[in-house]
Amino acid sequence: MSKQERATRTRNALIRSAAELFERHGYVRASLDEISSGANVSRGALHFHFENKAAVADAVEQAAAQTLRETADSVPLGQESAMQHLMDLSHRMVQLLHHDVVVRAGFRLNCDTGPRTPLDLRQQWQTRVQQLVTRAADEHALATGVSPEGLVATIVATTVGLEVLSRANRGWLSPTPLTNFWQLLLPSVASPPTLPTLQPAGTPTHPLPATTHHAPTH
């Protein structure tokens, strides 16, 4: 293993250790000693990669943002409708939150600790939802009178709400709550020709991409 590979592995281990502590204890209570210990490295090794705790938290948020982008981009729109693609993507996002501690911690840090970075993970998700709802409107897949802006707000509020609720009960990130949401929403927002074609539980997709949480590219 090269020196660069060892450095990357150490950095990734520190990010994961920090994410586990930030999720469990919050930003304030997590200590650098605990982060380095959880990654099985010295404090000196931690400071080689990160100047302070804020820099570690920034790295967790950056890694979470990159994983979200990679997950969204890993499912090409293809031939399916924009509405179905949106449902599939929402299920993948919830699945990702359920299985990836770095993404969960990134959301918590990004939303709870104030603006340390220009990142806004919820806005990143909202932008993707807006793109797909706009495309669904162009496909005439929305029922007459449905406001695209209102639909975006409803979807974002619900999916982000599941992330917040899951902090106390991970069961909110199981497929059932999101499937129930889509089953209730679709009859009100999907056009009559589109509704029978939609699968609220999502369609089979590729596995989630591997989450190595490497340094983001600029």
| Tens digit of each residue's pLDDT (9 = 90 or more) over 132-183 | 999 999 999 999 999 999 999 999 999 999 999 998 999 999 999 999 999 9
Report the C-alpha gap between 142 and 192 in whole angstroms. 9
pTM for this model (two decimals): 0.85
Low-confidence residues of the chain, pLDDT below 50?
Answer: 214-218
Q: CATH for 61-197?
A: 1.10.357.10
190, 143 contact by CB (below 8 A) = yes
CB 121 within 8 A of CB 106: yes
pLDDT computed for residue 211 by the predictor: 54
Q: How far apart are CA 57 and CA 54, in angstroms?
A: 5
